[in-house]
Amino acid sequence: SEIKKSMELDEEFIVNRINKTRVYAPNGQFIEVDIDDVIVCRKKFDSYIARKAVNAGAQLFLSHRFAGYDAENNCLNFMYRDNENKKTMKKTPFDPEKDYLIGADGPNSFIRAFTNCKVKIVPAAQYKMRLEHENKDMLEFFADKHMTKHYAWNFPKKDHYNVGIIG
């Protein structure tokens, strides 16, 4: 997988190893592909990536709200609550020619809005389910226009499956 090529995998966040992917057509027929991949715990993986970024020199602003860019002073403005729960402004130097601002604040991102980046948000639902299933090392995708114009999935984790559908 691409992630395996670009970084060292840590057992801390790997929840399953995948050997196959199966894609089902509406008539129940499928194609199956052998793969060598992993499923990660998103929360642990995100924490791991954040630690690696900080160790490489990134600044991490938790519990801060992006409040804008001050072009005159080349700094980013963030709001946060101090120890006395008062709203406080924090300014941090930012050079748009060499620095990166990564907005990890969700689909209604203030940073995305600030940069005028347009995205199409498609609704999805996912559930954790305990299933009796023989293929604990296989990702499954279901394409059926009667069900959704996108796809549904079944991803095996350690002790459950993530079963979902997208818009």
For 80-120, write each residue's pLDDT tens digit: 888 888 888 899 999 988 888 888 888 788 888 888 888 88
The tokens describing 136, both together, are: 């604990």
The tokens describing 106, both together, are: 């969700």
**Per-residue confidence (pLDDT) for residue 150, from 0 to 100:** 94
**Per-residue confidence (pLDDT) for residue 4, from 0 to 100:** 67
Mean pLDDT of 113-132: 87
List of residues 6+ apart from 8 with CB closer than 8 A: none
Share of the chain above pLDDT 90, in %: 50
pLDDT at position 128 over 70: yes
Is-above-0.85 flag for pTM?
Answer: no
Strands 75-81 and 65-70: antiparallel
